[in-house]
Amino acid sequence: MELTIADHPLIAHKVTSLRDTETTSHQFRQLVEELVILLTFEATKSLPTEPVSVETPLTSATGVRLAGPAPLIVPILRAGLGMLSGITKLLPDAEVGFLGIKRNEETLEPETYANRLPEDLSGRQIILIDPMLATGGTLNDSLDYAFERGATEAICICLLGAPEGVDAVRKHTESTWPQNKVDVHLAALDEKLNEIGYIVPGLGDAGDRLYGSSGS
Ligand code: URA
């Protein structure tokens, strides 16, 4: 597993606003969208391309376009949905699958309530989006679903991560899927998880901050 932590003043500025309790849901959604665009730019730098020639008004030119098949973006519901509009601005031709995974608040273990991934993911580039990499359980289950369907490469874009979660994903993927490629991109790596599995200093419950506190 390869971990990339963003190092850019724009990202650091927006992450600070995201943490701030004074930030409204409207501003929070806007910041998430902007951060996802900034993170996607770096996270997709190894997407395969193929040569193409086009006619300019003056002459012909050779260039590239993204090679098929189209990447599959997978928001992990519910908070991952808040990242979808940003990433599809940069990858408008990507397909979208959905995973609904919620945390059992007592055991902190992930529970899957929806899986809408295509059956065959061989040869597909998978991009998992979830704002919070906390215990790592949700991301590990999501990677398992993708790799069990034949994918061998996954890019994970998260906003905040805890060291415990990063370690859990590293251990799980290196022991269970040693031949597969997993790139994790974070806007910031925080200090720790607290006793109820929240990232500290964090930003609170990402779903609540995006959508208000009803629902789970
Ligand atoms: N999920 C959240 O929304 N926030 C955290 O801090 C951890 C998990």
| Interval 116-124 mean pLDDT | 97
Please check the confidence at residue 215 and state whether its pLDDT lies above 60. no
Report the C-alpha gap between 202 and 163 in whole angstroms: 12
- What is the rounded CA–CA span in Å between residue 112 and residue 27? 29
Kindly list the catalytic residues: 103, 107, 205, 208
Give the mean pLDDT of 104-127.
Answer: 93
- What is the average per-residue pLDDT within 101-114? 89
Tokens 């600070």: give the residue.
Answer: 16
Question: Would you put residue 202 in left (φ > 0), alpha (ψ -120 to 50) or beta?
Answer: left
Contact (CB, 8 A) for 27 and 8: no
Residues with CB under 6 A from ligand 1: 79, 132, 134, 197-199, 202, 205-207
Alpha carbons 39 and 42: distance in angstroms, whole number: 6
Is the confidence at residue 9, as pLDDT, over 90? yes
Residue 207 structure tokens: 């779903």
Alpha-carbon torsion 107, 108, 113, 114, what sign?
A: negative
Please check whether residue 95 is in contact with residue 141, taking contact to mean a CB–CB distance below 8 angstroms: no
Minimum CA distance residue for ligand 1 atom 4: 205
- Predicted confidence at residue 105, as pLDDT, reads 80
% of residues, the chain, pLDDT over 70: 99
Confidence band of 108 (pLDDT split at 50, 70, 90): confident
**pLDDT above 70 (res 214):** no
Q: What does the pLDDT read at residue 49?
A: 97
Is a pLDDT exceeding 70 seen at residue 198? yes
Distances (CA, A) of 155 to 23, 196, 206: 29, 27, 20
Q: What is the identity of the amino acid at 214?
A: S
- pLDDT recorded at residue 114: 97
- Tokens matching residue 24: 């409204």
pLDDT digits (tens, 9 = 90+) for 39-64: 999 999 999 999 999 999 999 999 99
Of how many residues is the chain composed? 216
Average pLDDT score, the chain: 96
